Structure 1
Amino acid sequence: MYELLKGLRVVEGSAFVAAPTCGLYLAQMGAEVIRFDNIGGGPDFRRWPLHENGASLYWEGLNKGKKSVAVDLGRPEGREIAQRLAAAPGEDGGLFVTNFPVEGFLSYEKLQALRHDLICVRVMGWADGSQGMDYTINAALGLPQMTGPVGDERPVNHVLAAWDLLTGAYCAFALVSALLARMRGQGGREIRAPLSDIGAATMANLGFAAETWLNGQQRPRMGNDVFGAFGRDFTTKDGEKLMLLAITPKQWSKALEALGIGSEVAGLEAEIGVSFADEGLRFTHRDRLYPLFERAFARKTAAELAPAFDAGGVTWGAYQPLEAALEDRRLFKDNPLFEAIQHPSGLTYPAPGAMGTIPQDRRGPVRPAPRLGEHTDEVLAEVLGLGSGEIARLHDAGVVAQA
């Protein structure tokens, strides 16, 4: 982690992916992130993947570096504690990340009554408050009908929670932006970030929406073809599948050179009357180009092609399972981003710190996720100023719990 946000106190009341990701990124940049959960854990505390000992690897991954408070949110006194944490005083406090509903005990109006300059970033499903999650929003956007093999009408869901992750990153950016505005005297505010709006805006930003608006129909399935450029998987002589991508003229020329098919492609250009220096034309005529590349790949093994591609600066990649990726020095093995630490489950395995590298700063050690309720007494005392007697009373009443 880094210390760019050291001194900031962010309170998180959340579950699942988007909001916890926001808190994770802020914690990895040095903020003190305090997460409150129901005693016994929220709806994501036992979420898969689970280790055989029952620990959620998912929960450990998304909550690294945070503090944990366990409180009974079903009781008025427990809800009051959550409200007071979100709106606790301090120049660097009053920052709240949540995916709780717009209305209810964590509504902005109720929290703002406790602190007028509160900043709240609220993850939502649909902008109208309807229930929605990554996979249902993705289904509504049309992407599953664009994904998958040509000629197959079944929708294909991708396994990456892309809208959750994008929303979490956007919320971290939005919170820091709102904090900068507050520091300039512009007060607090609530920022609502629905997955539906993040998804729709992204589809528009990338041209997907405009393409469909103007053409009257969405983009058809293209299998593994890269839209608008030359890119696809090809099979080598020894059966390995390699991804080749040629977007720029240099990438294209180097690929032809490495594969030894420059003259064949030049002949095709002369026949059609085009120049494949244009990436759009490479895409338009890909069905004529693919056989030339398929034959070239089939003549050589992956071990022969790899050094030729690398020597020419060709953009390519091998398909490999995660087991192999874990041994890849550029990804996991020997990557300084990762550090083997002991997690609250008692397991020891590598975990990443802040994803960005700041050459001018030292990346600090990776901090594990907390045990549920590990910091309950500390936070109640230091943030809310409660005395030991009051904290003991709350424990005795079952309102809060310590790990």
Structure 2
Amino acid sequence: MEAHARTTPEGALSDLKVLELGSMLAGPFVGSMLADFGARVIKVEKPGKPDALREWPPHKDGAALWWKTMARNKHAVTLDISRPEARELALRLIGESDIVIENFRPGTLERWGFDPAELSQRFPRIVWVRVSGWGQTGPNREQGGYATIAEAFSGLASFTGHADKGPTVSAFPMGDYLAGIFGAFGALAAIHRRERSGRGQVVDVALYEPLLRIIESVVVRYDQTGRKKPLLGNQMEEDVPRNVYATADGGAIAISCGSQSIYDGLVDAMQRPDLKSDPRFATMADRVIHRDAIDGEVAAWLKTQPTASALERLVANKVVAGKINDIADVLGDAHIAAREAIRTLVDETLGPMRMPAPVPKLSETPGDIRWSGRDPGASNDEVFGDGLGLSAAEIEDLRRNHII
């Protein structure tokens, strides 16, 4: 594993200045998305009480590994914006920003004297991205919110799981990351509008709303038919057979037969022409009715096949299939390497480190990882001194009084 320097053109968002407030995942992932494509993101943490993500495992030699990727490409400063003594410094940072990101509980910024509605008079061009559990309005706005609760509230969890075991939620904070992506999209949409109107606006994202957005078919189905989507485990109602199947050597393969031609290829790979002529499986509608029967046939066949040879036969017959990779498989995969989906950089404390590359790929101004997440206040001198013009003595005074 050799780390290498990358020479890339100026980032697509290199003209944008972003101030990131808040902590953990959803708001900071907005900043990560923007920073990957060149935006100058200043990450603010409270002195003596840094972002709680630094406390989350895993750690190596005392370094928070999740932090290394979430805070990559960001300038780390410390500033206690809740204190009146920090107000003018915070306002100077806000005033120099195109986008301000926050994910505090609604009302917190207002309580500290940074109400976006009021500050829009002084800083009319700023785009405010406000990510919260429940949004800035509504009866639940003041409740705490996490990604797990968002999956439950959005309706997504009601049909992910098995009928005999009940609903399940993701094993990682999917809602936070989706909210971050939608927040970044909203920020850029608002910046695009600003080019014509000259004014910024507030981008309001509740954690559950991106999840609700992506289950659109479930919403319109219930609205128009009164039918709810059932718990089917790894299966889908509309796409049969579709499941994760165990193989003979302890592996597993995912298959999705979304069209007749893919189904025909599957039964050819299985060398089961009888499954083509069986009227129970003649069309997708027929297979939906007899899902357990056809799913059982596929499962029984794959249980007798080694993973590699089964996958080779499936791909040769144009079946949409893929081996269930663990993360070691992903990091060693030739396609991942060819796409440069994993990048290696040199962390200042841990040395060579691999992490996911920026997404999506831009042909002219691709995203890049310039550095990994830094220590609290690592950029204080750069941001407050070089950026805002404070003297070394002024910075030291702020530090001594725990304002930075």
- SS of 1:112's partner is helix
- SS of 1:3's partner is coil
Aligned length: 386
The farther-off stretch of 208-217 and 36-45 is 208-217
CA RMSD of aligned residues (A): 2.5
User: Does the 8 Å CA contact 1:41/1:372 hold for their aligned counterparts?
Assistant: no
C-alpha distance after superposition, 1:24-69 (max 9, x if no partner): 1111111101111101343424232231423221211111001011
CA distance 1:167–1:392, shift in 2 (3 Å): same
Of 107, 121, 126, which residue of structure 1 is paired with 2:129? 121
Give 1:83-232 correspondences, 5 Å limit: 83-88=91-96, 93-100=97-104, 101-102=106-107, 103-105=110-112, 106-127=114-135, 128=138, 129-130=141-142, 131-153=144-166, 155-203=167-215, 205=216, 207-216=217-226, 218-230=228-240, 231-232=242-243
Q: Is the counterpart of residue 244 in structure 1 residue 249 in structure 2?
A: no
Task: Report the CA distance between 1:198 and its aligned residue.
Answer: 2.7
CA distance in 1: counterparts of 2:350 and 2:12, whole angstroms:
30
- SS of 1:46's partner is helix
Counterpart in 2 of 1:40? 48
Counterpart in 1 of 2:79? 71
CA distance 1:241–1:202, shift in 2 (3 Å): closer
C-alpha distance after superposition, 1:355-382 (max 9, x if no partner): 2223345664542222211111221234
C-alpha distance after superposition, 1:305-356 (max 9, x if no partner): 222122222211122332333322333x565233322335535321233222
C-alpha distance after superposition, 1:186-209 (max 9, x if no partner): 412111111133333333x2x112
Of 380, 400, 404, which residue of structure 2 is paired with 1:376? 380
Of 319, 323, 330, which residue of structure 1 is paired with 2:328? 323
Task: Report the CA distance between 1:123 and its aligned residue.
Answer: 0.4
Gaps (5+ residues) in structure 2?
A: 1-7
CA distance in 1: counterparts of 2:230 and 2:371, whole angstroms:
45
TM-score, normalising length from structure 2? 0.87
Identity %: 23
CA distance in 2: counterparts of 1:353 and 1:152, whole angstroms:
36
CA distance in 2: counterparts of 1:185 and 1:141, whole angstroms:
34
Task: Report the CA distance between 1:112 and its aligned residue.
Answer: 2.2
User: Does the 8 Å CA contact 2:160/2:232 hold for their aligned counterparts?
Assistant: yes
CA distance in 1: counterparts of 2:312 and 2:81, whole angstroms:
59
CA distance in 2: counterparts of 1:175 and 1:104, whole angstroms:
24
Gaps (5+ residues) in structure 1?
A: none
